[in-house]
Each structure stands twice: as C-alpha cells, then as structure tokens.
Amino acid sequence: MGFPRQRLRRLRQHHVLRGMVQETSLSPSDFIYPLFVTFGNHRQEPIDSMPGQYRWSVDLLVKEAADAHALGIPAVILFGIPEHKDERGTSAYDKAGVVQEAVRALKAQMPNLLVMTDVCIDEYTSHGHCGIVRDGRIVNDETLDCLRLMARSHAEAGVDLVAPSDMMDGRVGSIRDELDQLGFHDVPIMAYSAKYASSLYAPFRDAALSAPSFGDRRSYQMDPANARESIREVLLDVEEGADIVMVKPASFYLDIIRMLRETVTVPLAAYQVSGEYSMIKAGAQLGWIDEQHVMMESLLAIKRAGADMILTYFAKDAVRVLTQHRLS
C-alpha cells in the first residue's frame, strides 16, 4: 500500500534520523589533493584559471602539504613544471627534477603522508603532448621508455604510488616490469585507465603550461562518446598490474564510474578535474550558485556513483566543511 500508509518524508523530518539513513557519505580519507610543483624557492604563483590554486616551489609545497595533512587529508599527487623542456621530456626523469625533489622533501618531513606522482611527459615536453612525436604522430612504444624512466626516478626518490596518465598502450605493464626489476615490488600503480579527451582540462593545461603546440590528444585519450571501451581499457590495465584504476573527468562521466564499479573489484578512483573545479568557482564568484553546497553535492555524486577515492582541488575546503558538520 502506498500513501497515506507510506510516507517517505517520515525519515526526513529530523536531522539526526536523516544522518542515520544516509546511504552515501564523504570523509577526509576519500580525498587526494593535487599539487603543482615548480622550480625555484619561495614561489607561490597563482593560477588565474583556477582560483585558490598555485604553482609551488618545493619549500612552500611542503608547507601546503603539511597544512592539508593536518586537516586529515591522507594523500597528495604531484604534477611538475620544470625549468627546461625538450622534445623527449627528459626533465621528467631527471633525478634532480622538481617532482623528485618534492617527493624526497615530503617523505623526509611527513613520512605518514601518502605521496603519489603523475607519470606523464606532457608537462616536460616542448610540444606539450603525452608522448614522443615522430613526423607529427604520437609514437606509442618509444614513449614507454620515457615512462619507465620517469616511474623509476620517482620510486628511487621514495614515492608511495605512481599514477600513469598518458594513455599509451602497454604503459602499466611496462612500468610494473621496470619497478619489479628494480626491487620496487611494493610501489602500487594507480592507472588513469578511462581518461577521456575532455574539454574540461583547459585550466590544468594553463596551470601546468602543457597545452599541445599542435593538434589535440584524441589519438590517445578516449572518445567522450564511448562507454564500453572504458571496460576494455580498465580490464587491460588490471591485467597488466594496475592496483587502482581511475576515471577522468568525474562529474560528466558518472555513468562510467558506475559501470566500472560494477565491472571490477579493484579500488576505483575518480578525478574531479580542473574544469569542474573552475566552473564551480566561477559560478560562485558570479553569485549564481552557493560554492560550498555545490562543491559538496558534486563530491557526493562522485562517491555515490561508486568512486572509492576522489582527486579534487577542493580537498581542503571539503574537509573543513566535513569537520564543521561533525563538530556542530
């Protein structure tokens, strides 16, 4: 029997009862905080297209990471902006590179902070692509050599987890083989498995100074029109040794998150990318939306869809909101 015997509003009347029957919840342990690290000292460069985000030199990055860790955020992921770029992105695997220095500094001062690194050469190449360029084409297998060297240098610096985001075929297996051969058996891989060729990356490319100098990335990133293909990508990455798989972006791809959650048993991450962050920030600055409520609703939607962990530039703000609610 339906109404009036059944009244679903009964469980919504009292805030305590609403909390008790809540099906999905967020906690600080859900979040991974992306950070941009650059060369030099005492540098905190604002990113115009990402209000509230910065490019940090290593010394100030450590302070920012410490602030996040003190709030209860368990993990950061690092993206590097080097002083010099070339066609092969050799700064990406320089043992004295900005990411490698940042990893050493973070692990020395905060051994309990989980430090992850992005493994992709786009931020380090003069052309801005995620792979080696030959005759105007992105070549796959030659790029794997660079990725192996990059992951190796991060592991040698003491990283806790590497996250290949390039979308080259075979990169997970190549990196796993490299790490295992060097004795880094316990360094997990979080693969950007379903990374779509999205228009939502523009602010990130501004932040990382990594926009392609020609063409686009559709020859290696996934077609936004495709869903089933994401299953093939994820299953291949798991077969090659991925410990965690990821969907990127998040909010426009909630169906993909849900589908993959029902397909694989490995942990599933989702990246709330720069465009998602900046749209919420811009709408709030214009007074059209409530930033705090939209931020939390967007993160809750990603978690509800099936993500176990969320990479988000809102990590610090979201944890502050969660803390306030817990104390109230």
Q: What is d(CA 164, CA 151) in angstroms, rounded to the nearest whole number?
A: 8
Q: Do you find a cis peptide bond into 249, omega within 30 degrees of 0?
A: yes
DSSP string, 209-234: T---SSS-STTTSBPTT-SHHHHHHH
Q: Which of 195, 281, 303, 316 is catalytic?
A: 195
- Tell which residue, 121, 132, 89, has the closest CA to residue 219: 132
Catalytic status, residue 195: yes
Residue 223 has what DSSP assignment? P
Q: What is d(CA 266, CA 309) in angstroms, rounded to the nearest whole number?
A: 12
Chain centroid, CA 278 distance in Å: 15
3-state class percentages of the chain: helix first, strand second, coil last, to nearest 5:
45, 20, 35
Q: Which of 63, 85, 248, 303 is catalytic?
A: 248
Q: What is d(CA 77, CA 318) in angstroms, rounded to the nearest whole number?
A: 17
Q: What is d(CA 80, CA 129) in angstroms, rounded to the nearest whole number?
A: 15
Catalytic status, residue 281: no
Task: Give the residue numbers marked as catalytic.
Answer: 195, 248
